[in-house]
Chain A
Amino acid sequence: MNVLDIFPGKINNAFAKAVAINYVAITAVSLLLLFIVIVTGVFFGIRYRSLSSAHRYKPPSMKVWIEVVFIAIPLFFGVILFSFGAKAVVDHGREYPKNGLTIFVIGKQWIWKFVHENGVKEAGELHLPSHTPIRLVMVSEDVIHSFGLPDFRLKQDVLPDRYTELWFEPISEGTFPLYCNQYCGSFHARMGGQIKITSKEEYELWLAKEAFRNHLQQPEDTNNGEKIYERYGCASCHGANGRGGIAPRLDNLLGKHVHFSNSDSLIANETYYRDSILFPARKVVFGFPDTMPSFQGRISEEELVALIQYLTSLRGVSDVQKPLP
């Protein structure tokens, strides 16, 4: 790579394009201001050097209108550049995909682990399809990490106590570096990896192959979401397949409006699932008693991911086919 190639790679997603526009805008303003300061400074510096015989009669000590200009210039450019940046991020948020491919990312000292929608896991390397909106739902098992993708101009800290998200839609195929950007202890520098972007077909083929290989190696997977749902006794209240009982129904919950007994409400997402398992008392569904025990400290992040994947996959089966017991 040439020393003067400033940016990593070409533009791979919509947000990178918005970032590029911001770079151009800021650089233009910076160069303009730099030019003004340097050119005037150097000009005065040479003209008014002590040995020169330049005209120096009555140097002005202050002129209020000049000071007003001095204030107006950075204020004007500042507000413009702020709105450019804000617009890019607001747009990025507005295009947030409702039905993207959801992949869970678990960071731990010093490796990135990924869980695909069908439960296939990988570490250090993430396979993704191109031209598909991708949502990364991320959590850390220990300290704060930061999921950094310079080629996509994206970065998000990964926290130990909540899910944070990142989304993008890759355009070009290829292999791109992945870094941990937040200092996380001894081998922070080794907590990198790769993002492998292939066509949708190749990705699905790869996914199926991995799933098949897992099945061959371990025909009876005891750690899938359904097994965890049984193991922790969720079914005793929420019913088999989450179809409800003395506790709220869990099928078809993702994206639905949920109302709570403290008259709060929200739209159910992965964070809501996680919080409800770990801190059930905080948000009690309207019309139900506050009886659910907390699973904090009893369930690992990986189990949580598997469980939430299972719960969000419950699309609900019509009651005619499978009547309630």
Chain B
Amino acid sequence: MSKNRYLNSQQNIRSWFLTLDHKRVALLYAATLSIFFLVGAIAAALMRWQLLRPNSNFLSADRYNQMFSAHGIIMVFFFLIPALPTVFGNFLLPLMIGAQDLAFPKLNLASWYIFLLGGILTLSALTLGGVDSGWTFYTPLSSSYLNTHVTLAATGVFVAGFSSVLTGLNFIVTTHRFRAPGMTWKRLPLFVWSLYATSLIFVIATPVLTITLLLLVAERVMHIGVFDPTFGGDPLLFQHFFWFYSHPAVYIMVLPPMGVVSEVMACFCRRKVFGHTFIAASSLAIAGFGFLVWGHHMFVSGQSFTASLIFSLASYLVAVPSGVKVFNWVGTLYKAKIEYSASMIYILGFIGLFVVGGLTGLYLANLATDIHLHDTYFIVAHFHFIMVGGSVLALYGAIHFWWPKFTGRVYPETLARVSALTMISGFFLTFFPMFIMGLRGLPRRYFNYPEQFHTLNVLSSAGAGVLGIGYLLPLMYLLWSLKYGEVASSNPWNAQGLEWQLPSPPSQRNFERPPHIEEVPDHGFGTDL
């Protein structure tokens, strides 16, 4: 590797921890998030072990409650929400639009430190004795009834929220102000469009969550009486505030993966993505509509029936832009030249599982069936199909796709394909049985369960084992490739994005001269191959 690449241009500790290079900040995030992912996964593994038997006492009731709370809080706030924006967004956004860095590099580094601080606070809450509020922190349980470290954990999430806001702000300004000459909005890569939509949600939704958690902390400390009826508050107000953030947060988790799908498909289908404009617009539509559907988490909560009606209709409407995306991806396969590389398999896995996740959402947007399915394992299955089958699979797809660009190395392709298929099948086996458990009425967050759900739970736990292998395999061969992998060329996949015109890994300043963009890349198609 020549000496001017971002990875080796400077090699002291200071050059990493005080770096203003967006690519190094991305790697700082990657390292931090890996640790959180591991902690969250261990909590999940312990839960699946507990659920192998209906009356298991492997974990006590409280311990189990702490496990699902830790799993939820860490995976949502400290892994899925930041994962794609902070690692791939940070690394790729400037490269894709032809800039030398984000608009505010110092702010970007500060965001990481803020995130780290929030993470440490929450992790310390978990290690000091745990939190058992669930990731939803519903009041008055969390505000007045739990003696665990809810305050500390909520403060951690509160702090990390600022990191989200500042990252979103940075991305929006960068996209507006730092596009290279010729990079018009119409030519903007779809991943950048999805990051832009995500950033809007970051900036608009996150402040509501942070202040709500601050109010929750104040409620615990000085009985402020906003959420706890004993002090004159309203417990449903908390749910409204919480889901006003946390439903759009689902789109924070799924929009960037959708952007990844579009990029990877364009490359391995060897053609322009079908309906580029509509895919870009649907990202914005999802971000917009996403703010109008939070009440579908509250159909049985006691909210007014009129509200439920409106939220149900809006929830069906938010499915439209997602549907448009899926149809366009399928359309992209038409007259393509499909190469089934590892990242392409992950991405096709995303589409399949996302479709299942999306279609099961139709049962939950429906006023009648949701009453039956609410707070059962059906919900657990549904959102894991979106967040793991969707987001995590696309994340692994992104890791494989851009790994040569990040590291300058290529991983063993066959092994990668095998692990992709392992992950998809393990995932399916883990979560599909949960749909049936939910339909049969098993409520979520139960540390023991009736005998009749035994078989399904065993299947699910077995699947979790396979899924775990699917997570760990890439870790091994990717680390292996860092040292022994083949050295990557600047464009190993023959992809068309701006980032592939740079050497792998890119130099510290990215571009020496501003690139000039002429056309949306179309892989030189138009003649019969």
Contact = CB atoms under 8 A, between A and B. Distances in A.
A283 B158 CA distance: 39
Contacts of A144: 138, 140-141, 235
Given A74-B323, A142-B140, A89 B305 contact: yes
B399 interface: no
A45 B338 contact: yes
Q: In terms of DSSP, what is the predominant structure of the interface of chain A?
A: mixed
Contact of B366 (A1, A8, A41, A81): A81
Contacts of B134: 183
A70 B132 CA distance: 44
B61 A85 contact: no
A60 interface: yes
Contacts of A30: 359-360, 362
Q: In terms of DSSP, what is the predominant structure of the interface of chain B?
A: helix
B320 A78 contact: yes
A245 interface: no
Contacts of B278: 62, 67, 70
A168 to B, nearest CB: 11
B443 A82 contact: no
B360 to A, nearest CB: 8
Contacts of B141: 143-144, 183-185
Contacts of B339: 50
B302 A156 contact: yes
Interface residues of B, number: 94
Nearest to B529: A56
B337 A48 contact: yes
A22 B366 contact: yes
B302 A26 contact: no
A89 B368 contact: yes
B386 to A, nearest CB: 15
A287 interface: no
Interface in B420-461: 436, 439-441, 443-450, 452, 455-456
B20 interface: no
Interface string A51-63: 0001111111110
B368 A82 contact: no
> Max chain A CB contacts within 10 Å: which of B278, B337, B372, B439?
B372
B275 A182 contact: no
A58 B526 contact: yes
Interface stretch (B113-121, B188-196, B348-356, B470-478): B348-356
B48 interface: no
Contacts of A45: 333, 338, 348
B309 A71 contact: no
Contact of A150 (B136, B330, B372): B372
Given A61-B522, A146-B375, A182-B375, A189 B447 contact: yes
A311 to B, nearest CB: 22
Contact of B330 (A26, A29, A37, A182): A37
A34 interface: yes
B274 A81 contact: no
Interface string B310-322: 0011001101101
Contact of A19 (B62, B305, B368): B368
B333 A48 contact: yes
B65 A40 contact: no
Given A3-B456, A186-B61, A37 B326 contact: yes
A159 interface: yes
A184 to B, nearest CB: 6
Given A37-B355, A186-B61, A189-B449, A161 B229 contact: yes
Contacts of A182: 138, 375
A88 B368 contact: yes
B5 to A, nearest CB: 31
A93 interface: yes
B224 interface: no
Contacts of B319: 74, 78
Given A61-B522, A70-B323, A85-B312, A159 B235 contact: yes
10 contacts: A6-B439, A40-B333, A49-B340, A62-B277, A66-B331, A70-B278, A78-B317, A85-B370, A148-B375, A189-B61
- 3 nearest A-B pairs in the assembled complex, by CB-CB distance: A150-B441, A78-B316, A161-B229
